[in-house]
A and B are shown apart, each in its own frame.
Chain A
Amino acid sequence: EAGVAQSPRYKIIEKRQSVAFWCNPISGHATLYWYQQILGQGPKLLIQFQNNGVVDDSQLPKDRFSAERLKGVDSTLKIQPAKLEDSAVYLCASSPGPNEKLFFGSGTQLSVL
């Protein structure tokens, strides 16, 4: 069974630039999550999708972050413009449904200079 796929693995940008991350969840998983993990901290939920609808984006900085999950399959997370404090690993996860075990991708390491 293929796992959660994410790209790119690494990204280095300058502040005020924009960046986008892509995620393809495990086939058949209805719930998709984007987490931000800052060095030394645990993953923090940014946004949760159920199929192609947003069910929780309360911790997403909406002035600069956006995410979509068209057709209820893969998803993109965008940051525009990036700030220094956005440097983190961005993890995508999926699960068959809410309240079920999460499967994580390998993440995208973002460095904002």
Chain B
Amino acid sequence: DQQVKQNSPSLSVQEGRISILNCDYTNSMFDYFLWYKKYPAEGPTFLISISSIKDKNEDGRFTVFLNKSAKHLSLHIVPSQPGDSAVYFCAAISRGSTLGRLYFGRGTQLTVWP
């Protein structure tokens, strides 16, 4: 039962353009969402997060948008750089839960070409 879905396994973007990575979720109890970035042979590293009380959070070139009614979030990278090439995981959690389990999507491989 995949509660967090990333339906695009890969995305290829030219350097300088915008990258948009999408994520959908099914559990309405999720109230905090995170994006992790993973390079080969390394563990995932935290990138950016958003609480369900917001619809946008920005950190430099990275912006995450949340549409609660659609149960959809997206990560925008502007401008994209070759160093952004990595696998991006969307994750969600219900902070009201005592267990604090983080659910991950399958990831999207982003390739930024010069």
Contacts and interface: CB of A to CB of B under 8 A. Distances in A.
Interface in B79-97: 89, 91, 93, 95, 97
Q: What size tier do the contact residues of chain B reach? A: 20 to 34
Nearest to B105: A42
Given A42-B4, A56-B99, A99 B93 contact: yes
Contacts, number: 58
A94 B109 CA distance: 25
Determine chain A's interface SS by DSSP, over half rule: loop
Contact of A91 (B32, B44, B93, B97): B44
A31 B46 contact: no
Given A41-B106, A42-B105, A43-B89, A99 B100 contact: yes
Contacts of B93: 99
B43 A91 contact: yes
Q: What size tier do the contact residues of chain A reach? A: 20 to 34
Interface in B29-63: 32, 34, 36, 41-46, 49
A61 B60 CA distance: 41
A72 interface: no
